[in-house]
Structure 1
Amino acid sequence: MPDRFAPQQQLVVAIAVLGSFVSFLDGTLVNVALPAIDRDLGGGLATQQWAVDAYLVTLGALILLAGSVSDAFGRLLVLRIGLIGFGVASIAVALAPTAVFLIVARAVQGAAGAFLVPSSLALITSTIRGPSQARAIGIWTALTTSAMVAGPLIGGLFVDHLSWRFAFLAGIVPIAATLLLLPRLDAPDHREPGATVDWWGGALCTFGLGLIVFALIEEPDAGWSSALVWAPLVAGCALFTGFLWRQRHAASPVLPLGLFRIRTFAAGNLATLFVYGALSLSGFVLAIYLQQGAGLSATLAGLASLPTTIVMIALSSRFGALSGRLGPRLFMTVGPLVMAGGTLLLLTIETAFDYWWQVLPGMLVSGLGLSITVAPLTSAILGSVDSARSGIASAVNNAVARVAGLLAIAAVAAVIGGTLDLGGLRSSVLLCAALLVLGGIASLVGIRNPPPGDPS
């Protein structure tokens, strides 16, 4: 921990990292476990998609509600609830006897995870200000985003040497550590006076997204003409439209649409939509293809992403600090373009598979681009709003990231033509690169650096 942090600030960063770590970890370790889950519980590609998207539906929708709840009832209380709920749901996933039980347990796990990220990051933004905040966010970003990338490795080790079930218990240790550290934090649990929570808005968002995702996953098998597809799609769009309408009229909306009138906030979230959609799609298809197409074990498929993790750990805090001094626009523009270049290097993958020449270069370049992007992106979005609204701002940004991944994975069967072979992988790679380029363009056009001397 850097010397510039006081002991309590070090503790804040440690709690924020550990509290968020489990949510990011479980969001990605599932990818390498998918073939094993399919072999054990059955269901094919649809079960694999739902094992990921059931988690992302509740996480992406309820993370908005959790942001409001954390502002209304206190970030530390919400963090405790999320940690305990996540631990219980993780045990349920590990014990799942059927695919349906696993999918339901994953949805509960995502709901608990929704309470972790906004309250954790808001804890940093409300207690650490000035240049130290940018460095703290860089550390948080490096370690939590690295959890997203390291998750496949951890999951692969469990899958190959124990069982995919044990992989979902990996978060129990950081959960216990965070619960032990929380009583040592000498900080008041901040609550917004008179704050209320829009429970109806949260329900409309959750069921609207859930029905849309159901339709996208079922469409490749049933077709658009099937009532099993168009009926939930229409209902989901209607519910989500009702959610947006309610946000314009609710006294305490879970998604304050007025935030999007802030140029940097709106552009940063648009960039998030593109970048995290690409990240989720590439992680999903690569983890499955390396096992089912290239014939690697789950551990080796997880090790494929390790170079990206190492680059992230080494560089993210540095780019976070640079962004604090120079402004985020340059980094948010260049970073996604570098990631796009790294992603396109995966087009070199052939039937005669060679990790060192076909995958490793892309992992290294993508890791560099990710390091350049994520800390400045987070800092820009949270720095564009006042600290009193940091909880909901963090929730909105994280919800956008999760919804991006949710929709990308739900639509993967349409992108790959229903089969994740080499052709399907290449189609996915091209789509990911296009999304990353759009993320860089959105940042170039929309992001504005804060005026010199602005502490945010």
Structure 2
Amino acid sequence: MTITETSPATATGTPVPAPAEQSWTPRLWGVLAVLCAVLFLDGLDVSMVGVALPSIGTELGLSTTSLQWIVNGYVLGYGGLLLLGGRTADLLGRRRVFLAALGVFAVASLIGGLVDNGTLLIATRFVKGLAAAFTAPTALSILTTTFHEGPARNRALSVFSVFGASGYSSGLILGGLLTSVGWRWTFLTPVPLAILALAVGVALIPRDRPAAEGGHDLVGAVTLTTGMLLAVYTVVTAPARGWLDPLTIGSIVLAAALLVGFVLTEQRVAHPLIRLGILRVGTIVRANVSVIALMGSYMSFQFMMTLYLQDVLRWSPLKMALALLPAGLIVAFGSPFVGRLINRWGTPRLIISSMVSLSLGYVWFIATAGNSPHYAFTVLPTMILLGGGFAFGFSAIMAQATDGIDDSEQGLASGLVQTSGQVGAALVLAGVTALVASDTHTGGGFAPFHPGLNLVTGVAIVGLAFNLIPLLSLTRSRAAATNTANS
């Protein structure tokens, strides 16, 4: 089978000649299947655990603030080590790092399903996040170095996104069914799937040599990892402890000092962990801001919906899962076509369309929900708009974030965009949780969630505005050039 698309568009939207066709051999399809299976597991795990949160809270006696740690414990490990994970794959070899981290992911899933203590459960989520911090950017960098830039890579990224969406939508249904039996099954179910993916990966993923040359930037790795972990931890814990608490202030100062030290280190070492020049590329910066808006708003909205529909409206886990399912289905069935749209229209237009769809979805829910939302009038249109926004946005953002990057830095670029998404999700979710927890005096119902929904909507609108700025600047430049030519 061959890819025959022509006239692809770069991340700037400018058509370029089509690269040579790439033959998709059975082994190539097999490698893609393993990478997709890991993304499927990630989506499956996130959505299943999200559905199970109210049941976990009831059995283990966890408050809303504590429940966010089941989500943010994962995000803390994930966001704190993603950049290190991506760069480690470049330095040590992608296959080795990918398979080792996948094994840790399976073990952490098993332990998480067996513990009886909330603190231990959160700890397993943290370890699982650490493992995902290595599997996620490594999987994406394996994909982007295996498939040639252009139509082949865009199509592979679309298939990759389909499996993530399929995992998410499948997790909603499985989470509803499994939670009805016992929430522990939502943690145990990924274990055999991860073991199977590990076995197939050992057989199919070819051995590779490190893509990046040079020594290891130990000081940079320590300052970045410690600074990121402390920064995410501070943001997550500050709403409960208080932003003016001495420990919060001290953590902020220390995290800032570590991150400044990292930047200074990278400017001086011979072989930096991160080439800071990559942050001067406008399209890459916009991709990272866009994924913050996408993941931050979407994950926070799901967190609020699981609590609102189950705890306030008393919907069963399965009913809630079915209510949210249309968004996942739209992503699953729509993502295969996004690669063709990227080839034709370029990533900027699709990302703008994504931000518009997300913003409209949140605004519609706020305007029509009330204390007794009608599913067909409120929830379903919201899920359709959010599903469309995610379908257009995810693949386009990933393509733009890695477009034009040398193979030796694909792990870095992949880790950077995924770090932005996870850290952005942690920041927005921490803010949303603080707003929801502090607004209980309003008497319950929909009102406590309203401030959080306003924050989520604002995040999506900021993402839209950030992507519109270069488009408006280009329009003004063209208008000025036309006026000069006519005068």
The alignment's TM-score, normalised by the length of structure 2, stands at 0.85
User: Could you tell me which of 152, 174, 199 is aligned with 1:180?
Assistant: 199
User: Could you tell me which of 427, 430, 435 is aligned with 2:454?
Assistant: 430
Note if 1:133 corresponds to 2:145.
no
Residues 133-152 of structure 1: pairs in structure 2 closer than 5 A: 133-152=153-172
Note if 1:261 corresponds to 2:280.
yes
**How far apart, in 2, do the equivalents of 1:196 and 1:293 lie?**
55
User: Could you tell me which of 420, 425, 442 is aligned with 1:400?
Assistant: 420
Note if 1:383 corresponds to 2:403.
yes
Determine if contact 1:209/1:236 at 8 Å carries over to the other structure.
Answer: yes
**How far apart, in 2, do the equivalents of 1:196 and 1:300 lie?**
53
**How far apart, in 1, do the equivalents of 2:321 and 2:126 lie?**
24
Change (3 A) 1:440 1:225: closer
Residue in structure 1 matched with residue 70 of structure 2 by the alignment: 51
Q: Which amino acid aligns with 2:208?
A: D
String of CA shifts for 1:394-415, please: whole Å, max 9, x gaps.
Answer: 1111111000011112222333
User: Could you tell me which of 29, 33, 52 is aligned with 2:48?
Assistant: 29
Deviation at 1:255, TM superposition (A): 3.5
Q: Which amino acid aligns with 1:437?
A: I
String of CA shifts for 1:272-310, please: whole Å, max 9, x gaps.
Answer: 122221112111111121111121122222222210111
Determine if contact 1:222/1:229 at 8 Å carries over to the other structure.
Answer: yes
Residue in structure 1 matched with residue 383 of structure 2 by the alignment: 363
Change (3 A) 1:221 1:326: closer
Change (3 A) 1:332 1:221: closer
Change (3 A) 1:197 1:36: farther
Question: Which of 363-372 and 295-304 deviates more?
Answer: 295-304
Residue in structure 2 matched with residue 276 of structure 1 by the alignment: 295
Deviation at 1:109, TM superposition (A): 0.8
Change (3 A) 1:376 1:140: same
Residue in structure 2 matched with residue 99 of structure 1 by the alignment: 118
**How far apart, in 2, do the equivalents of 1:2 and 1:346 lie?**
44
Residue in structure 1 matched with residue 463 of structure 2 by the alignment: 439
Deviation at 1:20, TM superposition (A): 2.5
**How far apart, in 2, do the equivalents of 1:199 and 1:151 lie?**
38
Determine if contact 2:355/2:460 at 8 Å carries over to the other structure.
Answer: yes
**How far apart, in 2, do the equivalents of 1:244 and 1:304 lie?**
45
String of CA shifts for 1:2-57, please: whole Å, max 9, x gaps.
Answer: 88733222112111111222233323432222222222222312211111111111
User: Could you tell me which of 151, 154, 167 is aligned with 2:186?
Assistant: 167
Residues 59-138 of structure 1: pairs in structure 2 closer than 5 A: 59-129=78-148, 130-138=150-158
Residue in structure 2 matched with residue 340 of structure 1 by the alignment: 359
**How far apart, in 2, do the equivalents of 1:155 and 1:196 lie?**
45
SS of 1:95's equivalent in the other structure is coil
**How far apart, in 2, do the equivalents of 1:444 and 1:218 lie?**
34
**How far apart, in 1, do the equivalents of 2:129 and 2:212 lie?**
28
Change (3 A) 1:185 1:215: closer
Q: Of the two, which has the highest radius of gyration?
A: 2
**How far apart, in 2, do the equivalents of 1:233 and 1:186 lie?**
42
Q: Which amino acid aligns with 1:17?
A: C
**How far apart, in 2, do the equivalents of 1:444 and 1:150 lie?**
34
Determine if contact 1:46/1:217 at 8 Å carries over to the other structure.
Answer: no
Question: Which of 103-112 and 29-38 deviates more?
Answer: 29-38
**How far apart, in 2, do the equivalents of 1:104 and 1:204 lie?**
22
Change (3 A) 1:284 1:338: same
String of CA shifts for 1:162-197, please: whole Å, max 9, x gaps.
Answer: x21110122223312322322442634241253444
**How far apart, in 2, do the equivalents of 1:284 and 1:184 lie?**
38
Q: Which amino acid aligns with 1:365?
A: L
User: Could you tell me which of 263, 286, 305 is aligned with 1:244?
Assistant: 263
**How far apart, in 2, do the equivalents of 1:110 and 1:429 lie?**
26
User: Identity rate of aligned residues, in percent?
Assistant: 27
Q: Which amino acid aligns with 2:312?
A: G
Q: How much is the aligned-residue C-alpha RMSD, in angstroms?
A: 2.4
Residue in structure 2 matched with residue 452 of structure 1 by the alignment: none
Deviation at 1:389, TM superposition (A): 1.5
Residue in structure 2 matched with residue 453 of structure 1 by the alignment: none
Question: Which of 186-195 and 371-380 deviates more?
Answer: 186-195
String of CA shifts for 1:212-266, please: whole Å, max 9, x gaps.
Answer: 4444444444433433433333333333333333333344444432111112111
**How far apart, in 2, do the equivalents of 1:127 and 1:221 lie?**
45
Determine if contact 1:62/1:202 at 8 Å carries over to the other structure.
Answer: no
SS of 2:115's equivalent in the other structure is coil
String of CA shifts for 1:55-85, please: whole Å, max 9, x gaps.
Answer: 1111112111111111111111111111100
**How far apart, in 2, do the equivalents of 1:42 and 1:236 lie?**
32
Q: Which amino acid aligns with 2:391?
A: S
SS of 1:168's equivalent in the other structure is helix
**How far apart, in 2, do the equivalents of 1:193 and 1:202 lie?**
15
**How far apart, in 1, do the equivalents of 2:201 and 2:236 lie?**
40
**How far apart, in 1, do the equivalents of 2:467 and 2:138 lie?**
26
Residue in structure 2 matched with residue 354 of structure 1 by the alignment: 374
Determine if contact 1:338/1:369 at 8 Å carries over to the other structure.
Answer: yes
Determine if contact 1:342/1:366 at 8 Å carries over to the other structure.
Answer: yes
**How far apart, in 2, do the equivalents of 1:326 and 1:334 lie?**
11
Question: Which of 287-296 and 239-248 deviates more?
Answer: 239-248
In structure 2, the gaps of 5 or more residues are 4-22, 475-487
**How far apart, in 2, do the equivalents of 1:94 and 1:344 lie?**
37
Determine if contact 1:63/1:115 at 8 Å carries over to the other structure.
Answer: yes
Deviation at 1:150, TM superposition (A): 4.2
Residue in structure 1 matched with residue 17 of structure 2 by the alignment: none
Change (3 A) 1:59 1:319: same
**How far apart, in 2, do the equivalents of 1:212 and 1:80 lie?**
28
Determine if contact 1:26/1:171 at 8 Å carries over to the other structure.
Answer: yes
Change (3 A) 1:332 1:211: same
Q: Which amino acid aligns with 1:402?
A: Q
String of CA shifts for 1:300-342, please: whole Å, max 9, x gaps.
Answer: 2222221011111111120222102321111111111111111
Instruction: Number of aligned residue pairs: give it.
Output: 448
Deviation at 1:96, TM superposition (A): 1.8
String of CA shifts for 1:348-377, please: whole Å, max 9, x gaps.
Answer: 222224323221110011111211111111
Note if 1:19 corresponds to 2:43.
no
Deviation at 1:383, TM superposition (A): 1.0
**How far apart, in 2, do the equivalents of 1:250 and 1:30 lie?**
42
Question: Which of 372-381 and 21-30 deviates more?
Answer: 21-30
Residue in structure 1 matched with residue 25 of structure 2 by the alignment: 6
Determine if contact 1:31/1:288 at 8 Å carries over to the other structure.
Answer: no
**How far apart, in 1, do the equivalents of 2:27 and 2:225 lie?**
36
**How far apart, in 1, do the equivalents of 2:275 and 2:403 lie?**
17
